[in-house]
Amino acid sequence: MACNKKRTIRTRYKNKKEKIKVTNPRIKHNGKYWYLSLGFEHQEEKYENLTDVSLGIDLGIKDLAICSDGNVYKNINKTSEMKRLNKKLKRLQRKASRKYEFLKKDKTFEKGEKPKKTKNIIKIEKQIKLVYRRIANIRHNYLHQTTNRIVKTKPYRIVVEDLNVKGMMKNRHLSKAIQEQCFYELIRQLNYKCEFRGIEFIKVDRFYPSSKTCSN
């Protein structure tokens, strides 16, 4: 794959004999790392023998997903690694805030003039970006692992509640926890993975009474 300045980027994929049409290459830089994303045409991998199970999924904050087959997928944000990263992030943010406060009190700048960032502030902000990146990568990877495990149970249908995430975010006590769970991304991944494998995917209205007590 050719890049500017006559450099090449090595790529690797599983089936080298298969002819793949690559489209829409994009290069992205996040402040430290460079990423190359590609689109390619690939034949859909549909499961031949789906089970007769209709799988219901309940999303929540205590646990990410509770399935009707008894499988429970934990909240990744409660793990020791995520707690450590969040603690580190807060510490760096406080450190950057103190540096900015010190700059504001610096009287060498004229009124209305915006002080330039010091080397220390730039260094701290880079560290903050890297921690944010690490947290986002852990969450994104866990969502892919979770949705893959759910789809590999081969139900003929998956049913999930159509959550009003925007409305739920208005609750200031729960907004942070809801944002960290990435419900929208989880549903999006389930949707396209079901479509690829021929599994029916249904989003049930949030007011639908899916849980009822028997009159008897």
- Specify if 42 maps to a domain: yes
How much of the chain, in percent, has pLDDT values that exceed 90? 45
What are the pLDDT digits (tens) for 121-169?
A: 999 999 999 999 999 999 999 999 999 999 999 999 999 987 777 777 7
Q: Which residue type occupies 165?
A: V
Distance CA 26, CA 208 (A): 42
Is the pTM higher than 0.85? The answer reads no
Q: Which residue type occupies 147?
A: T
* Most confident among 99-103, 117-121, 207-211 (mean pLDDT): 117-121
- Specify if 38 maps to a domain: yes
In DSSP terms, 159 is beta-bridged to 56, 202
pLDDT confidence of 175, banded at 50, 70, 90? confident
Q: Residue 109 region, left (φ>0) first, then alpha (ψ -120 to 50), else beta?
A: beta
What are the pLDDT digits (tens) for 74-92?
A: 999 999 999 999 999 999 9
- Specify if 131 maps to a domain: yes
Domain count, the chain: 1
- Specify if 83 maps to a domain: yes
User: Once rounded to an integer, what is the mean pLDDT over residues 6-30?
Assistant: 72
Distance in Å from the first CA to the final CA of the chain: 68
DSSP state letters, 147-160: HHHHHTT--SEEEE
- Specify if 66 maps to a domain: yes
- Specify if 142 maps to a domain: yes
Determine the structural domain holding residue 190 and report its residue range: 16-205
pLDDT confidence of 2, banded at 50, 70, 90? very low
- Specify if 196 maps to a domain: yes
pLDDT confidence of 107, banded at 50, 70, 90? low
- Specify if 143 maps to a domain: yes
Handedness of CA 29, 31, 34, 38 (dihedral sign): negative
Q: Residue 154 region, left (φ>0) first, then alpha (ψ -120 to 50), else beta?
A: left
